[in-house]
Amino acid sequence: MNITMIEADPLSEPIARIVRAHLADMAPTAPEESRHALDASALVDPSVALFQVCVRESIIGMGGFKDLGDSVAELKSMRVSPEFRGRGLGRQLLDGLIDAATQRGFTLLCLETGTHDYFAAARRMYRSAGFTPCPPFGDYQLDGNSVYYRLQLA
């Protein structure tokens, strides 16, 4: 099964619904101050490139990255709807985001994700794509609920 990615409007109803589900899934994984998922109002920021993930005509997820300056981007809001998980679509999304970030001239792609068991598959996927652990970046501080990764792009 292959996906297509096109730039998304975070305020469109299908994407807003996915954002709400994403935030709801994050709620039980860590205290509020340790959850860094963006809501729809933050995803409309011009520094964020957000993509909708489609299988045929259905929007089944989203993902994006935020420009942190100095050719560094942060991966944000990666999500594949639960009914489509376990089929390699998350990896296709990640590969598409890496390609899009590279095409836009970023040389380093960073991410923060959780340490809770809920994020174990995501951490494995990031490591298999070549991401390596790194210290907190940007505005992040050391937090036992977070782990940080980076990938050199070019």
Q: With 90 as the cut, is the pLDDT of residue 28 above it?
A: no
pLDDT at site 32: 81
pLDDT at site 33: 84
Q: With 90 as the cut, is the pLDDT of residue 5 above it?
A: yes
Spatial distance between the Cα atoms of 12 and 34, rounded to a whole number of angstroms? 27
What are the phi and psi torsion angles at 49 (to 5°)? -105, 115
Q: What is the pLDDT of residues 74-132, one digit of tens each?
A: 999 999 999 999 999 999 999 999 999 999 999 999 999 999 999 999 999 999 999 99
Spatial distance between the Cα atoms of 101 and 105, rounded to a whole number of angstroms? 7
With cut-offs at 50, 70 and 90, classify the pLDDT of residue 2.
confident
- Residue 129 burial (CB count, 10 A): 15
pLDDT at site 152: 98
Spatial distance between the Cα atoms of 148 and 70, rounded to a whole number of angstroms? 18
With cut-offs at 50, 70 and 90, classify the pLDDT of residue 10.
very high
Q: What is the pLDDT of residues 29-87, one digit of tens each?
A: 887 888 888 889 999 999 999 999 998 989 999 999 999 999 999 999 999 999 999 99
Which residues lie across from 113 on neighbouring strands?
147
